[in-house]
């Protein structure tokens, strides 16, 4: 039984993972493998879900019905550590080559398009109340800004637009684990 309830205060950031989407979201153990970790986060993550609605009423205002006409979900991250391989996951029109220890990242151009969708996982670890895992499928829609300054780190801040990933049109999978659950053989909340 999860300890997380309506009185739980959630504090802290988490870890971000990405893997190519191959038709279904992998289990949490698979996605949370170290080789899928995108980088370390600064500034946390933000999940946003919005729904547009339309209300129809009769002329006298006696009956009405409101329906959801469109919905969107976005997951924003702030990555303080990243490399060229991370950029390739964040930018569709991006190719990476390595030769003689030199990595070259080519950004932009239709010929560099990959056409991949990614499973994006944000894992908030909480030893006392249990972990929370958020998973979506989509791509970065925020483009890329790299700022190099003497006093601030060069953050990469992707925004992933969630796409339906199952027969119900699910945009977000939000999973709560009890504190005693073990994922990847590590007690929840422990740093892997």
- Per-residue pLDDT, 6: 86
Q: Across the strands, what pairs with 162?
A: 138
In sequence order, the 6+-apart residues with CB closer than 8 A to the CB of 156 are 39, 78, 79, 82, 86, 87, 90, 144, 146
E-only strand ranges, 92-181: 94-99, 102-107, 118-124, 132-140, 159-162, 173-176
Per-residue model confidence (pLDDT) at position 184: 53
Mean pLDDT of all residues in 78-88: 94
Does residue 35 or residue 4 have the better pLDDT? 35
Chain CA centroid to CA 40, Å = 13
Q: With 0-12 CB in 10 A as exposed, 13-18 as middle and 19+ as buried, what is 122?
A: buried
Average pLDDT over the chain, rounded to an integer: 90
Q: Which pLDDT band, with edges at 50, 70 and 90, does 35 fall under?
A: very high
User: To which residue do tokens 């601030």 refer?
Assistant: 152
Buried b vs exposed e over 64-77: b needs ≥16 C-beta within 10 Å?
eeeeeeeeebbbbb
**What is residue 183's predicted lDDT score, i.e. its pLDDT?**
53
Q: What local confidence, expressed as pLDDT, does residue 152 receive? A: 87
- pLDDT reading at 30 higher than 90: yes
pLDDT classification of 180: cutoffs 50, 70, 90: low
Q: What is the mean pLDDT of residues 120-132?
A: 92
What distance in Å separates the CA atoms of residue 63 and residue 60, rounded to the nearest whole number?
A: 8
Whether residue 182 has pLDDT greater than 70: no
Decide: 139 and 117 in contact? Cβ < 8 Å. Answer: yes
pLDDT of residue 165 exceeding 70: yes
- Judged against a pLDDT cut of 50, whether residue 3 lies above it is answered with yes
pLDDT band at 156 (very low <50, low <70, confident <90, very high): very high
- pLDDT classification of 189: cutoffs 50, 70, 90: very low
User: How far is the C-alpha of 165 from the C-alpha of 23, rounded, in Å?
Assistant: 8
pLDDT(2) > 80? no
| Whole-number Cα distances in Å, 48 to 63, 117, 148, 159, 160 | 31, 19, 28, 10, 10
Nearest to 160 by CA among 63, 100, 103, 92: 92
pLDDT of residue 4: 79
- Rounded to an integer, the average pLDDT of 150-175 is 94
């Amino acid at each position: 039984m999860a300890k997380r309830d309506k009185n739980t205060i959630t504090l802290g950031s988490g870890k971000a993972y990405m893997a190519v989407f191959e038709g279904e979201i992998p289990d949490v153990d698979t996605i949370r493998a170290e080789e899928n970790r995108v980088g370390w986060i600064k500034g946390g993550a933000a999940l946003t879900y919005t729904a547009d609605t339309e209300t129809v009423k009769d002329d006298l205002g006696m009956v009405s019905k409101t329906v959801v006409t469109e919905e969107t979900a976005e997951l924003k991250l702030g990555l303080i550590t990243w490399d060229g391989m991370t950029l390739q996951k964040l930018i569709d029109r991006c190719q990476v080559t390595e030769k003689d220890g030199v990595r070259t990242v080519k950004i932009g151009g239709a010929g560099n398009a990959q056409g991949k969708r990614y499973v994006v996982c944000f894992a908030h670890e909480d030893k006392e109340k249990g972990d929370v895992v958020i998973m979506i499928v989509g791509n970065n829609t925020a483009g890329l800004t790299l700022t190099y300054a003497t006093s601030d780190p060069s953050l990469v801040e992707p925004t992933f637009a969630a796409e339906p990933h199952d027969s119900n049109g699910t945009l977000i999978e939000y999973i709560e684990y009890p504190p005693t659950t073990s994922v990847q053989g590590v007690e929840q909340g422990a740093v892997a």
